[in-house]
Chain A
Amino acid sequence: MAPRVGVVVFPGTNCEHDVASALTLVGAEPTFLWHRDRSVGDADAVVVPGGFAHGDYLRAGALARFSPIMDAVSTFAAAGGSVVGICNGFQVLTEAGLLPGALQKNNTLRFMCAPVVVTVASDRSALTGGIPVGTELTLSVNNFDGSYVCDAGVLDALRAEDRVVLRYVDNPNGSIDDIAGICNQGRNVVGLMPHPERASSELIGSADGLVLLRSLLSVAVA
């Protein structure tokens, strides 16, 4: 049976259809989860896609964490379920306390929409399981608040516990330690700024995102 992936939709989310389409390409069955839903249903994995949840008012992701679906996502994550936050979804997961640190304005002070090359820094996460460390992937970033920041203690823990999942080859935004993606201690919650779903076909420049999504599915149903 096709793995079922819940795709969370807040008011202002705008990447849910791209994510659903890319998930379909790798054989998953996506289901949209409205932010007022109180359950993730029978999802094998959950993706929090990009956009501007609740208008990004106050701070990116700050209000989304109060949506009822986030309690369900937290419960799902606490039970070991695979949860991936992409871009705004990463911001939501940090604000919700599911991932450490925060995303601040790009040091360029620019909204950045461009392809970037990242390397897989850990092959032990819900999104990168089984992908050899050092694998280079071309994905695209599309954000204003994409610069990862955390205190020295968190950074030490992320490095020591092999929780930096993706690093930029050429840091585009001032992210600490070139971090493009991290995971939690349980390795089942992953946040990344680049969009795997926007690299879902050679026709649009890269199909490297499918490598990550395939890994997500294989880890989620393992």
Chain B
Amino acid sequence: MRFAAHVEVRLRPGIADPESATIERALPALGFDDVHELATGRSFRFEVEAESAESARVRAEELAGRLLANPVMEDATVSVSEPVRG
């Protein structure tokens, strides 16, 4: 079976994020002065062949930990859906 996986990678708390800070500084000029704590990140979507959603999650977490995120400065959140095809 194939399971759809979604990995979201964000900078860890405490790691300077000048890109997000710059975006946030631009917001008041657009009238979005009610928006705070903006954070950028990366999103990866892929399909994992696996016997179960749990084993698909384990594989997706391995991939996130070994490649998609650099654990020195990034955290990854992994989610796996129900099978997308048989």
CA–CA, A215 and B44, complex, Å? 44
Q: Is the CB–CB distance between B16 and A104 below 8 Å? A: yes
Tell me which residues across on chain A come within 8 A of B18, comparing CB atoms.
105-109, 174
Q: Is the CB–CB distance between B16 and A59 below 8 Å? A: no
Decide: A149 near B67, CB < 8 A? Known: A105-B19, A107-B16, A107-B18.
no
Question: Chain B contact residues: over half helix, strand or loop, or mixed?
Answer: mixed
The residue in chain B whose Cβ has the minimal distance to the Cβ of A151 is: B72
Shortest A23–chain B CB gap in Å is 30
In B31-84, the 8 Å CB interface with A consists of 67-68, 70, 72-73
Q: Select A59's contact among B19, B22, B70, beta carbons within 8 Å.
A: B70
Question: Chain A contact residues: over half helix, strand or loop, or mixed?
Answer: loop
Q: Is the CB–CB distance between A149 and B72 below 8 Å? A: yes
Which interface class (under 10, 10 to 19, 20 to 34, 35 or more) fits A?
10 to 19
Encoded as 1 (CB less than 8 Å from any A CB) or 0, chain B from 6 to 45 comes to 0000010001101100100000000000000000000000
Q: Select A95's contact among B11, B22, B68, B70, beta carbons within 8 Å.
A: B70
Is A62 close to B, CB under 8 A? yes
Q: Is the CB–CB distance between A150 and B72 below 8 Å? A: yes
Residues of chain A having any CB pair with chain B under 8 Å: 58-59, 62, 94-95, 100-102, 104-109, 147, 149-151, 174
Residues of chain B having any CB pair with chain A under 8 Å: 11, 15-16, 18-19, 22, 67-68, 70, 72-73
